[in-house]
Structure 1
Amino acid sequence: MPTRPTASLLLDNPTISKTLDDLASSHTIERIWTRDHTLWKSSPTEIDNRLGWLTVLDHMQDGLTELRSFAKAAREARITDVVLLGMGGSSLGPEVLRCTFGSAKGFPKLWVLDSTVPGWVRQVTKAIQPARTLFLVASKSGGTIEVMSLFAHFWELVRRTKGNRGGAQFVAITDPGTGLEQLARERGFWRTFTNQPDIGGRYSVLSYFGLVPAALLGLDVGKLLSRALTMRESCRNTSSPKDNPGAALGGMMAAMAMAGRDKVTLLTSPALNSFGLWVEQLLAESTGKEGTGIVPVAGEPLASPTAYGADRLFVALRLKGDRNAALDRSIIALQRAGHPVFRLNLADRYDLGGEFFRWEFATAVAGHALGIHPFDQPNVQESKDNTARVLKDVETQGRFPSLPMLTPKQALTQLLEQAAPNRYLAMLAYTTPSPQLDASIRALRKAVMLRHHIATTAGYGPRYLHSTGQLHKGGPNSGLFLEFVDGMKPDVPVPEKFYSFGTLAQAQAVGDLQSLQTHQRPAVRIALGPNPVRTIRSLIAMLTPAKAGRRKPAAKKRPLPKRRTHR
Structure 2
Amino acid sequence: MEVLYRDERAASAASSVAGRLAADGVPARLAAGDPTVWGREGSGAPELTGRDAEAGTGGVPPFRASRELLPELGELAERARAAGLTNVVLAATGGAALAAEAICDSADVPLTVLDTSDPGQVRRALAEPLESTVVVVAGSAVETDCCLRIYEELFARAGIEAAQRIVAVADPDSPLERRALERGYHLLPSSGRALSAAALAPSALAGADVARLLDDAEEVLPLLSRDSGNPGLALGAVLGGAALGGRDKLLLEDQLSAIAGLPDWIEALVAESTGKRGRGILPIVGADPHRAHDELVVAIESDIGDVRVDGPLGAQFLVWEYAAAVAALLLEVDPADRPDVAEPADNAAALLALPELPAGAPALVDGPVEVYGSVTAKDLPGVFIELLHAIPADGHLAVTAYLDRLAAFDAPVPDGADFEQMTDAWMMADPATLRALLALRTDRPVTFGWGPRSWHATGQYHKGGPQNGVFLQITGAVTEDVAVPGRPYTLGRLQLAQALGDLEALETRGRPAVRLHLTDRAAGVAHLLAAAQEV
TM-score, normalised with respect to structure 1: 0.82
Contact (CA 8 Å) 2:89, 2:135: kept in 1 or not?
yes
Cα gap change, 1:144 to 1:440, in 2 (>3 Å): closer
Partner of 2:89: 83
- Structure 2: runs of 5+ lacking an equivalent: 365-370, 372-379, 410-425
How far apart in 2 are the matches of 1:62 and 1:273?
27
| Paired position in structure 1 for 2:421 | none
1:256 aligns with 2:242: yes
Distance in 2 between residues matched to 1:540 and 1:216, nearest whole Å: 42
What is the Cα-based RMSD across aligned positions, in Å? Answer: 2.2
State the secondary structure of the residue aligned to 2:482: coil
In structure 2, distance between residues paired with 1:431 and 1:453: 27
The alpha-carbon distance between structure 1 residues 535 and 404, as it changes in their structure 2 partners (threshold 3 A), is: same
Corresponding residue of 2:231: 245
Is 1:211 aligned to 2:200, yes or no? Answer: yes
Mapped pair 1:159 → 2:146: no
For residues 318-352 of structure 1, give each alpha carbon's deviation from its aligned partner in whole angstroms, at most 9, with x where no partner exists: 2xxxxxxxx66xx2xxxxxxxx6101224xxxx11
2:481 to 482, 491, 512: 491
Partner Cα separation in structure 2 for residue 112 and residue 25 of structure 1: 43
1:413 to 385, 394, 400: 385
1:310 is the counterpart of 2:293: yes
After superposition, the Cα gap between the structure-2 partners of 1:426 and 1:272, relative to the gap in structure 1 and judged at 3 Å, is farther
Partner of 1:178: 174
Contact 1:308 1:454 in 2 (8 A): no
Q: Matches of residues 313-332 of structure 1 in structure 2 within 5 Å?
A: 313-318=296-301, 331=304
State the alpha-carbon separation in 1 of the partners of residues 58 and 211 from structure 2.
Answer: 19
1:29 is displaced (CA, Å) by 0.9
1:71–1:36 Cα change, 3 Å: same
User: Helix, strand or coil for the counterpart of 2:333?
Assistant: coil
Partner of 2:269: 282
**For each residue in 1:293-319, what CA deviation from the matched residue of structure 2 results, as whole angstroms up to 9, or x when unmatched?**
01010122x3xx5x342111000002x
After TM superposition, give the deviation of residue 55 of structure 1 in Å: 5.8
Q: Deviations over 1:547-566 (max 9, x none)?
A: xxxxxxxxxxxxxxxxxxxx
Question: Whole-Å Cα distance in 1 between the matches of residues 235 and 381 of structure 2?
Answer: 40
**Matching residue of 1:372:** 333
In structure 2, distance between residues paired with 1:536 and 1:165? 45
**Whole-angstrom distance in 2 between the partners of 1:5 and 1:528:** 44
User: Across the two proteins, how many residue pairs are aligned to each other?
Assistant: 492
C-alpha distance in structure 2 between counterparts of 1:48 and 1:448, whole Å: 37
**Farther off after superposition, 455-464 or 404-413:** 404-413
Q: Per-residue displacement from partner, 1:171-220 (whole Å, max 9, x unpaired)?
A: 1011122111111122222x111224xx4xxxx11121111112112222
> Per the alignment, do residues 245 and 405 of structure 1 end up closer, same or farther by CA in structure 2, a change over 3 Å counting?
same
Q: Is the 8 A contact 1:529 1:535 kept in 2?
A: no
List runs of 5+ in structure 1 lacking aligned partners: 104-108, 319-326, 332-339, 544-567
Deviation of 1:53 after TM superposition, in Å, equals 7.1
Taking structure 1 as reference, are residues 533 and 68 closer, same or farther at Cα in structure 2, changes over 3 Å only?
Answer: same
In structure 2, relative to structure 1, the CA distance for the partners of 1:467 and 1:206 (3 Å cut) is same
Q: Which residue does 1:335 correspond to in 2?
A: none
Tell me how far 1:441 sits from its aligned partner.
4.2
Q: Paired residue for 2:254, among 259, 268, 274?
A: 268
Q: Give the SS at the match of 1:520.
A: coil
Mapped pair 1:146 → 2:143:
yes
C-alpha displacement of 1:65 = 1.9
1:73 match: 79
Distance 1:285 1:55 in 2: 15
What displacement does 1:485 show?
Answer: 0.5
Amino acid at match of 1:92: L
AA matched with 2:172: P
2:111 is aligned to 110
2:47 is matched with which residue: 39, 45, 48? 45
8 Å CA contact retained: 1:419, 1:454:
yes
1:485 is paired with a residue of what secondary structure?
Answer: strand
Greater Cα radius of gyration, structure 1 or 2: 1
Q: 2:353 maps to what in 1?
A: 392
Runs of 4+ in 1 over 4 A off after TM superposition: 8-12, 437-442
Aligned to 1:454: 444
Distance 1:293 1:438, change over 3 A: farther
| One-letter amino acid of the structure 1 residue matched with residue 235 of structure 2 | L
Q: Secondary structure at the match of 1:222?
A: helix
Does residue 1:125 correspond to 2:86, yes or no?
Answer: no
- The percentage of aligned residue pairs carrying the same residue is 34
- Matched residues in 1 for 2:118 and 2:452: separation? 8
Code of the residue aligned with 1:508 in structure 2: it is: Q
Change (3 A) 1:399 1:121: same
| TM value normalised by structure 2 | 0.87
CA contact (8 A) 1:427 1:459 kept: yes
Q: Output the CA distance in 1 between the equivalents of 2:35 and 2:361.
A: 44
Q: Cα deviations across residues 223-277 of structure 1 (Å, max 9, x unaligned)?
A: 1111111121221212x3xx21001111111111111111111000354351111
**Shift, 1:419, TM fit:** 2.4
In 1, are the aligned partners of 2:89 and 2:114 still within 8 Å (CA)?
Answer: yes
Question: 2: CA distance between counterparts of 1:269 and 1:22?
Answer: 34
The question of whether the paired residues in 2 share the 8 Å contact of 1:448 and 1:454 is answered with no
The partner residue of 1:402 within 340, 360, 377 is 360
Alignment partners' CA distance in 2, 1:12 and 1:463: 31
Q: Which amino acid aligns with 1:131?
A: E
Task: Give the drift of 1:12.
Answer: 7.1
User: In 2 relative to 1, CA 273–524 (structure 1 residues): closer, same or farther, beyond 3 Å?
Assistant: farther
1:479 to 469, 474, 481: 469
Summarize the Cα distance change of 1:55–1:516 in structure 2 as closer, same or farther, 3 Å threshold: closer
Q: Residue in 1 aligned with 2:324?
A: 363
Aligned mates of 2:102, 2:10 — CA distance in 1:
32
Check whether the contact 1:250–1:366 (CA below 8 A) recurs between aligned residues. yes
In 1: Cα distance, 2:123 partner to 2:96 partner: 21
- 1:517 pairs with one of 507, 513, 524: 507
Aligned twin of 2:18: 20
Residue 166 of structure 1, CA deviation: 2.9
Counterpart residue number, 2:165: 169
What is the CA–CA distance in structure 1 between the aligned matches of 2:470 and 2:386, rounded to whole Å?
A: 10
Deviation at 1:489, TM superposition (A): 2.1
The question of whether the paired residues in 2 share the 8 Å contact of 1:437 and 1:533 is answered with no
Residue deviations 1:476-519 (CA, integer Å, cap 9, x gap): 11211110111122111111221110000000000111110111
Secondary structure of the residue that 2:437 maps to in structure 1?
Answer: helix
| Cα distance change, pair 229–34 in 1 and its aligned pair in 2 (3 A) | closer
Q: Is the 8 A contact 1:262 1:295 kept in 2?
A: yes
CA distance in 1, matches of 2:486, 2:67: 41
Give a deviation string over 1:352-384, Cα, whole Å, max 9, x none: 100000000001111111000110111111111
**Equivalent residue, structure 2, for 1:551:** none
> CA-to-partner distance for each residue in 1:20-40, whole Å, 9 max, x for gaps?
122122221122234333322
On the 8 A contact 1:419/1:452 being kept in 2, the answer is no
Match for residue 345 of structure 1 among 281, 301, 310: 310
| 1:195 counterpart (165, 190, 199) | 190
Q: CA deviation at 1:473?
A: 0.7
Going from structure 1 to structure 2, the CA distance change for 1:8 and 1:472 (only over 3 Å counts) comes to same
Residue identity in the other structure for 2:78:
K
